[in-house]
C-alpha cells in the first residue's frame, strides 16, 4: 500500500526548531518513518491555481512532503471562515462563538474540491489516502466523485460534540453525509464516536450496527483510535534538553522556587483564563506559596485574524498583568507569560524542570501536552499532572489529578495538593500513566488505523460502489474575509504553535 496522508497544516520543523501544532507535530515522526507522502498547505495562496499547484515536493524521511498553494479567492473563507469560525467552535461545543455564512461554506467546499483534484496526482491502484481533521470533512466525497475507489480513511483530532451542537451549523447534514464517503472514520474517544453514531441515527435516520453504517456511498466503519506520542523519543529529548541553554537558564532562574508549567495555543478551548484565575486564587488561599512557586505559561499566538482569538489574546495579557501586579514582588513574578513557541526539545526540558504540569482545557480532543509532560519526567522524581477531565487524555491518564476547569477554587486546591504530594505517590501515579502511554504510542495509533482502514476497505466499503452522484453544491459567492488581507504572505507565515 502506498500511503498518502493529507492535513491542512504539515510539520517541516525538526526537533530543534519550533513546532507547528499538535496534529502536525504528532504526525511528523510516524509519517517520516512510514515512507508516506504527506500532502498539505504550503502556507501560501495563489490567484491562478491549477490542480498542479504543488509549490514543492521535498523528501521527508523515507517518504515525501508535498506542499500545495491553495486558491487565494477561497482560502480566507475556508480557513478563518468555515473551518475555524464555524466548525472549530461547534466541535468544541462553543455554540456562542459559531459564525457561519453561505459564502464561507462555499469556500470550504471549493478548497476541499481543489484538494481532491490535486490528490489525483498521487492516485494509483496501490494508493490509500488518510485524511486528517475538520478542515477536510468533505474531501472524501469529492474524491469519490472524481472516481477514486481506493481506501479512504479520515481521523478527527478534535472532539465530536452532542448532536444538537453540531446541528447548530446550517450545513450539518451535507457535511456528515459527505463524511460517509470515507471507508473508516476515526475518533479520539468513545464519547466522540457515540455522539457521531447518535447524530447518524437521529438526524440522518441511519442504522449503526457494531460500528458499521450504510449510506448511499456504501458501508463505512466508525471507531476509536486515541492518538499517542513517541514516548521513548520524547523522554530522550527531555534528558538531552537538560544541557540546552534555554533550559539551563530556566533552571538557574528558579533559585529553589518550584515551577508549574502550561503550554497551549492561545485558544478559547484551552481554558487559559480559568487557569490564570486558579493561580490567582491559589496565592490568595495559600499566601505561603508566594515566592515558592510560579507558573510558566507558554501561550503561542494562534489564528490571530479571527476576532475571538485576538480578543482572548488581549484578555489574557490584561489578566496576567493584573495577577502579577496583585501578587508579585520586586524580585518575584507569579506568572511568567510568554507569547512564543519553542522546539520540542526545549519544551521537553521545560516539562522536566516543572514539578506540576497544568493541562486544563474546557474541551479538547486529546491534548498531547498532557502526554508529553508525563513522558518528559525524571522517573526518580516525577512531577504531578493536573489534568482537565474534559480532555480526551483524561480517559487514559486517570491517575493524574483530574479537575473541572470551571471550578476555579477546586483547581487552586488541586494545584496545592500537587505541590505537596509525597514522592512515593508521585511515582506511583506517574508509573501508571507511563504504562498507559507505552500501551498506546503514536506508532500503535498509526499502525492500528492503517490496519483498520485496509479491513474496512475490504468489506463493502464506499470504494466498491459505482461513482456517486455529485453531492449537492451550494450557491456561489466569494470569501467574506478580505481578499487583500488573505493574499498577504505574512498572514500565512507558518507560526509555531503548541497543542
Kindly state the number of chain residues that form the binding site for ligand G6P, as judged by CB under 6 A. Answer: 11
Is 363 an interacting residue with respect to ligand G6P (CB under 6 A)?
no
Q: Which is nearer to ligand G6P, 34 or 158 (CB)?
A: 158
Cα gap 365→393, rounded to integer Å: 8
In the complex, least distance from residue 84 CB atom to ligand G6P, rounded to whole angstroms: 6
SS3 state of residue 180:
coil
Q: Which three cell numbers stand for residue 172?
A: 450539518
* Binding piece for ligand G6P, criterion CB under 6 A, among 15-23, 160-168, 240-248, 343-351: 15-23
Is 23 an interacting residue with respect to ligand G6P (CB under 6 A)?
yes
Is 68 an interacting residue with respect to ligand G6P (CB under 6 A)?
no
Active site residue 491: no
Is 81 an interacting residue with respect to ligand G6P (CB under 6 A)?
no
Name the burial class of residue 336, with classes exposed (0-12), middle (13-18) and buried (19+) by CB atoms within 10 angstroms of its CB: middle
Is 220 an interacting residue with respect to ligand G6P (CB under 6 A)?
no
Instruction: Provide the pairing of β-strand 54-60 with 63-71.
Output: antiparallel
In the complex, least distance from residue 206 CB atom to ligand G6P, rounded to whole angstroms: 26
- Taking residue 328's Cβ as centre, other Cβ atoms within 10 Å add up to 17
Is 77 an interacting residue with respect to ligand G6P (CB under 6 A)?
no
Is 76 an interacting residue with respect to ligand G6P (CB under 6 A)?
no
C-beta of residue 18 within 8 angstroms of C-beta of residue 342: yes
State the greatest distance between any 2 C-alpha atoms of the chain, in Å, as a whole number.
73
Is 250 an interacting residue with respect to ligand G6P (CB under 6 A)?
no
In the complex, least distance from residue 182 CB atom to ligand G6P, rounded to whole angstroms: 17
Ranges of beta strands (E only) in 244-345 are 258-265, 293-300, 335-338
In the complex, least distance from residue 241 CB atom to ligand G6P, rounded to whole angstroms: 23
Footprint (CB under 6 A) of ligand G6P, residues 309-348: none
Q: Which is nearer to ligand G6P, 23 or 128 (CB)?
A: 23
Q: Which is nearer to ligand G6P, 188 or 274 (CB)?
A: 188
Q: Which is nearer to ligand G6P, 219 or 367 (CB)?
A: 367
Is 157 an interacting residue with respect to ligand G6P (CB under 6 A)?
yes
C-beta of residue 350 within 8 angstroms of C-beta of residue 237: no
C-beta of residue 479 within 8 angstroms of C-beta of residue 107: yes
Is 303 an interacting residue with respect to ligand G6P (CB under 6 A)?
yes
Is 158 an interacting residue with respect to ligand G6P (CB under 6 A)?
yes
Q: Which is nearer to ligand G6P, 196 or 217 (CB)?
A: 196
Active site residue 133: no
Phi, psi (rounded to 5 degrees) for 18: -60, 140
C-beta of residue 220 within 8 angstroms of C-beta of residue 193: no
Is 21 an interacting residue with respect to ligand G6P (CB under 6 A)?
yes
Cα–Cα distances in angstroms (integers) from residue 106 to residues 71, 88, 101, 109, 475, in the given order? 13, 17, 9, 5, 7
Q: Which is nearer to ligand G6P, 131 or 452 (CB)?
A: 131
* Binding piece for ligand G6P, criterion CB under 6 A, among 16-24, 30-38, 54-62, 244-252: 16-24
C-beta of residue 85 within 8 angstroms of C-beta of residue 70: no
Is 361 an interacting residue with respect to ligand G6P (CB under 6 A)?
no
Is 497 an interacting residue with respect to ligand G6P (CB under 6 A)?
yes
Q: Which of 157, 171, 237, 363 is catalytic?
A: 157
Ranges of beta strands (E only) in 350-493 are 356-359, 384-388, 401-403
Q: Could you give the strand order of the β-sheet that contains 218-224, starting from the edge strand earlier in sequence? A: 54-60, 63-71, 37-46, 2-6, 127-132, 152-155, 184-187, 218-224, 212-215, 208-209
Among 3, 6, 13, 22, binds ligand G6P (CB under 6 A): 22
Cα gap 43→65, rounded to integer Å: 13
Is 443 an interacting residue with respect to ligand G6P (CB under 6 A)?
no
The counts of H helices and E strands in the chain are 18, 16
In the complex, least distance from residue 367 CB atom to ligand G6P, rounded to whole angstroms: 9
- Site track for ligand G6P across 116-155, x = CB under 6 A: -----------------x----------------------
Is 302 an interacting residue with respect to ligand G6P (CB under 6 A)?
yes
Is 9 an interacting residue with respect to ligand G6P (CB under 6 A)?
yes
SS3 state of residue 11:
coil
- Site track for ligand G6P across 366-405, x = CB under 6 A: ----------------------------------------
In the complex, least distance from residue 300 CB atom to ligand G6P, rounded to whole angstroms: 9
H or E element that contains 314: helix 307-327
Cα gap 385→382, rounded to integer Å: 9
* Binding piece for ligand G6P, criterion CB under 6 A, among 18-26, 65-73, 319-327, 351-359: 18-26
Cα gap 370→374, rounded to integer Å: 7
Q: Which is nearer to ligand G6P, 158 or 294 (CB)?
A: 158
Residue with the CB atom nearest ligand G6P in the bound state: 21
Cα–Cα distances in angstroms (integers) from residue 198 to residues 204, 222, 456, 482, 485, in the given order? 10, 12, 21, 38, 40
Q: Which is nearer to ligand G6P, 9 or 171 (CB)?
A: 9
* Footprint on this chain of ligand G6P (rule: CB under 6 A): 9, 21-24, 133, 157-158, 302-303, 497
**Which residues does the annotation mark as catalytic?**
157, 364
Amino acid at each position: 500500500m502506498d500511503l498518502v496522508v493529507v492535513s491542512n497544516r504539515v510539520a517541516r520543523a525538526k526537533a530543534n526548531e519550533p513546532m507547528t501544532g499538535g496534529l502536525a507535530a504528532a504526525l511528523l515522526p510516524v509519517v517520516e518513518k512510514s515512507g508516506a507522502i504527506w500532502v498539505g498547505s504550503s502556507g501560501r495562496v495563489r490567484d491562478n491555481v491549477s490542480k498542479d499547484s504543488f509549490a514543492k515536493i521535498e523528501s521527508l524521511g523515507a517518504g515525501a512532503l508535498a506542499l500545495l498553494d491553495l486558491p487565494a479567492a477561497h482560502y480566507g473563507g475556508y480557513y478563518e471562515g468555515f473551518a475555524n469560525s464555524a466548525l472549530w467552535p461547534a466541535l468544541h461545543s462553543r455554540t456562542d462563538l459559531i459564525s457561519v455564512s453561505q459564502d464561507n461554506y462555499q469556500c470550504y467546499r471549493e478548497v476541499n474540491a481543489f484538494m481532491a483534484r490535486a490528490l489525483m496526482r498521487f492516485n494509483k491502484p496501490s494508493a490509500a489516502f488518510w485524511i486528517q481533521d475538520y478542515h477536510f470533512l468533505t474531501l472524501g466525497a469529492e474524491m469519490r466523485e472524481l472516481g477514486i475507489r481506493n481506501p479512504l480513511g479520515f481521523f478527527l483530532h478534535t472532539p465530536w460534540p452532542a448532536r444538537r451542537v453540531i446541528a447548530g451549523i446550517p450545513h450539518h447534514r451535507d457535511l456528515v453525509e459527505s463524511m460517509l464517503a470515507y471507508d473508516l472514520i476515526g475518533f479520539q474517544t468513545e464519547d466522540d464516536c457515540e455522539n457521531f453514531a447518535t447524530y447518524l441515527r437521529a438526524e440522518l435516520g441511519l442504522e449503526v450496527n457494531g460500528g458499521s453504517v450504510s449510506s448511499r456511498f456504501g458501508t463505512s466503519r466508525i471507531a476509536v483510535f486515541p492518538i499517542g506520542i513517541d514516548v521513548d523519543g520524547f523522554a530522550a529529548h527531555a534528558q538531552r534538553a537538560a544541557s540546552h541553554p534555554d533550559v539551563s537558564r530556566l533552571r538557574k532562574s528558579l533559585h529553589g522556587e518550584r515551577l508549574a508549567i502550561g503550554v497551549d495555543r492561545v485558544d478559547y478551548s484551552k481554558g487559559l483564563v480559568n487557569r490564570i484565575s486558579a493561580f490567582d486564587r491559589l496565592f490568595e488561599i495559600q499566601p505561603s506559596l508566594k515566592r515558592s512557586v510560579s507558573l510558566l505559561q507558554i501561550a503561542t499566538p494562534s489564528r490571530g485574524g479571527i476576532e475571538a482569538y485576538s480578543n482572548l489574546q488581549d484578555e489574557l495579557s490584561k489578566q496576567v498583568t493584573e495577577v502579577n501586579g496583585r501578587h508579585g514582588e520586586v524580585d518575584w513574578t507569579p506568572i511568567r507569560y510568554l507569547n512564543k513557541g519553542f522546539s520540542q526539545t526545549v519544551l521537553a526540558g521545560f516539562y522536566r524542570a516543572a514539578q506540576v504540569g497544568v493541562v486544563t482545557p474546557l474541551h479538547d480532543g486529546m491534548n498531547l501536552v498532557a502526554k508529553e509532560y508525563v513522558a518528559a519526567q525524571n522517573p526518580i522524581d516525577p512531577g504531578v499532572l493536573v489534568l482537565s477531565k474534559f480532555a480526551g487524555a483524561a480517559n487514559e491518564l486517570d491517575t493524574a489529578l483530574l479537575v473541572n476547569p470551571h471550578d476555579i477554587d477546586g483547581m487552586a486546591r488541586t494545584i496545592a495538593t500537587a505541590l505537596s504530594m509525597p514522592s512515593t505517590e508521585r511515582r506511583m501515579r506517574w508509573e501508571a500513566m507511563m504504562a498507559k502511554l507505552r500501551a498506546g504510542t503514536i506508532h500503535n495509533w498509526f499502525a492500528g488505523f492503517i490496519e483498520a482502514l485496509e479491513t474496512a476497505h475490504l468489506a463493502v466499503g464506499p470504494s466498491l460502489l459505482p461513482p456517486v452522484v455529485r453531492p449537492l453544491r451550494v450557491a456561489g459567492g466569494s470569501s467574506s474575509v478580505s481578499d487583500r488581507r488573505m493574499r498577504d504572505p505574512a498572514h500565512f507565515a507558518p507560526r509555531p504553535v503548541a497543542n
